[in-house]
Amino acid sequence: MAANLEKKLPSVVLVAGTLSDIITKVRPPHAADDLPPWRIIASVKLRLGLIGLGNGWESHHRPALRSLADRFEVRAVFDQIAHRAQSTASQFEAAPVEGFRCLTQREDIDAVLLSSDGWYGPLPVLAACDSGKAVYFAGAAGISLRDSQLVRRRVRDSGIAFVGELVRRHTPATLRLKELMATKLGPAKLIFCHFRGSEPDREHRCPEGTEPDPCRHELVELIDWCRFAVGLEPTWVTSTAHSMYPLSSSLLLRPDFQTITLDFSRSQQPGTGPMAQISCSRYIPSCWSEALGYRPRAAMQVACELGIAFVDLPSTLVWFDQAGRHQESLDNDRPVGERLLTRFFRAVTSLVVNTTDLDDICRAIEIFEKATRSHEEGRRIEL
């Protein structure tokens, strides 16, 4: 009986090496191509290529890569600023590369970490799809709806692993909030989210009105955060915005404040279900650092059926119920950068295609676009 059971069960093999060596080492050369994948416990390092060294690079990507040195090995670096690419490459004993296409075509690269949304937008993702390289896209929330739909289609066609960076939903405070809502606080009734940032640097604005919407990226992430917290899809959206005056006629009007209301009620009963109010402000000059930090609001305030919670990212949560006040500091939890890169590692090594992140990103961008339309038309839009 033991012999028959051994024949039926797939083998479990411990393998060391790079990702591209796994199948070669585990699957025997005479195995048929249509056999299901064997279960593999892999002691493997992903050979990583870095594209762009944006704001997230210093705050959480680089520290996470250092902490996860047993899972990631940086092999090549590309950045728009050549000196920065050379400096980072030397820190990781990697090779500086002159272009993102050259990087994605390298045979010693298994996956790509796209850390900034530069002039190239989603083009490196498409190049990675052509080369069959997995992608971690930090700027996914900042691309247009058309580009997000193109990326989703190309990722599905190529079958690569893809993780889009949605930082807020993976922070320790957010995950703990979801636990409390499931056990003590009950479902959300009202949510208030606010982001306060500095206005764009006028000296570095792009000409001819090509500079991005300063509130767009944050609002898309906030929309996704509220969807994640409520656990439902919104049915209505309403938005208003205030636009700053351009310095010249060649610059487009860009909002320096925008508010979005998401109604999660049933389609025929607006205003009866959960509701989220989201706002983003970017009207304070960057040189007024004291004003930027003056009396900050909680990043998220959630009124639930049995209590209320205040979230300060990444790791502080204060909540109230009939027993009184409870304060939790989650500084000892794994940092969000490590959480996200660990998800990416698992997505690549699982050999299972999962486009959940892409679906969530596309949905949040679609809601933002309809919110913009709501402001322009002065009416509530059904989703």
Has residue 347 been placed in a domain? no
- DSSP 8-state assignment for residue 330: -
Of 301, 379, 368, 353, nearest to 154 (Cα)?
Answer: 353
- Tell which of 138, 155, 185 closes a domain: 138
Average pLDDT over residues 89-97: 93
Query: Residue 227's domain spans which residues?
Result: 168-334+360-382
131 with 233, same domain: the answer is: no
Q: What is the DSSP string of 129-179?
A: HHHT-EEEETTGGGS-HHHHHHHHHHHHHHT--EEE--TGGGSHHHHHHHH
Distance of CA 208 to the CA centre of its chain: 29
Has residue 1 been placed in a domain? no
Residue pointed to by tokens 């010693």: 108
Of 132, 117, 144, 130, nearest to 51 (Cα)?
Answer: 117
- According to the model, what pLDDT value does residue 246 have? 54
pLDDT value at 51 more than 60 = yes
- Predicted confidence (pLDDT) per residue in 5-50, tens digit: 333 333 333 344 455 444 443 343 433 444 333 334 345 789 999 9
* Rounded Cα gap, residues 83 and 79, in angstroms: 9
95 with 218, same domain: the answer is: no
Helix (H) or strand (E) holding 334: none
- Predicted confidence (pLDDT) per residue in 157-189, tens digit: 999 999 999 999 999 999 999 999 999 999 999
pTM of the model as a whole: 0.84
176 with 116, same domain: the answer is: no
127 with 15, same domain: the answer is: yes
85 with 179, same domain: the answer is: no
- According to the model, what pLDDT value does residue 202 have? 54
pLDDT value at 271 more than 70 = yes
39 with 99, same domain: the answer is: yes
- % pLDDT > 90, the chain: 60
CATH of residue 72:
3.40.50.720
Q: Which two tokens stand for residue 380?
A: 């509530």
Has residue 281 been placed in a domain? yes
Mean pLDDT for all residues in the chain:
83
186 with 231, same domain: the answer is: yes
Has residue 147 been placed in a domain? no
Q: What is the DSSP string of 196-249?
A: EEEPP-GGGPPGGGTSPPTTHHHHHHHHHHHHHHHTS--SEEEEEEEEEPPSST
Has residue 282 been placed in a domain? yes
Q: Taking a C-beta distance cutoff of 8 angstroms, is the pair 177, 309 a contact?
A: yes
What total number of domains does the chain contain?
2
pLDDT value at 207 more than 50 = no
Of 345, 340, 315, nearest to 327 (Cα)?
Answer: 315
Q: Which two tokens stand for residue 310?
A: 């205040």
189 with 104, same domain: the answer is: no
